[in-house]
Amino acid sequence: MDYLKTGVAWLDDLMPSGLPLRASTLLSGPGGSGKPLIGDSFVAAWLRAGGSVVFMSLQYPSTDFIYESLKIVAGLDLNEYADRVAFISLDAALDGMSAPDGNVFKANLVKPEVWDAAIPKACAMVPDGGPGIMVFGSALNLLLFSPTYGQALLQRMETLLREDKSRTYVFSVSTSAKAEEIARLEAVADNLIMTRSEKEPFRLYMRVIRMKGQSFPTEEIQVPIPQHSLTHVREIAEHSRKRVIPQISKI
């Protein structure tokens, strides 16, 4: 198996060989605990190594938050990699997908047939060079709130995490709701990282549970991410609960 070293000391200590390529990595933990910020470190290392990234960040109201968090957490200006990034923006009001506007298109990912088509469409928008294409999806648990399509989408996520080795997938999910469904995703991902947070002051912790093809330390560490970034993530998580979940729960 091939690996990518992140160049981030605290991550490389936890994953001595690096992030496995063409495998699935799941970041799992309570809502608002900073999982996407850990993913930012993977994304930054990937882009700096010459790869491309497809963002499917369901909790963010616009791509501005992705640009902002990558700048703060990883010191990466996403504008410098515009030709190697694409964005799938969740729009639960659409029947299907919109035409791309630059490197962004909207998609009603709640519908299984749209989920099936959106990822290949976004991947076709970026070059497949360097370590390849990473699909970075955050807050995917939001899709499971659909009473009509939630179970079908869960099955698709399971299949993708377990079987698709054509790309590298880094997904984050919240365990604050749909715990049984999330446990199924945790069971099939090649690599599993668990997170938790503490309040007053807000701190983020992570521990590697499973990492394919390599030995790793099992102790939990505190993630050295700036306090204002962690607070911002909590605010975004609250936004998604108030805006996104009610929309998806009607479909």
pLDDT in tens, 151-189: 999 999 999 999 999 999 999 998 888 889 999 999 999
pTM of the predicted protein model: 0.91
Smallest Cα–Cα separation from 184: which of 148, 156, 212? 156
Model pLDDT for residues 15-44, shown as the tens digit of each residue: 999 999 999 999 999 876 678 888 889 999
Beta-bridge partners for 229: none
Architecture label for domain 26-248:
3-Layer(aba) Sandwich (3.40)
Q: How many helices (H) and strands (E) does the chain have?
A: 7, 11
Q: Which residues, other chains included, contact 168 with Cβ-Cβ below 8 Å and sequence gap of 6+?
A: 19, 20, 21, 22, 23, 24, 25, 46, 131, 132, 133, 134, 135
Show me where the domains of the chain are located.
26-248
Separation between Cα atoms, residue 37 and residue 233, nearest integer Å: 8
Burial 10-35 (b: 16+ CB within 10 A, else e): ebbebbebbbbbbbbbbbbbbbbbbb
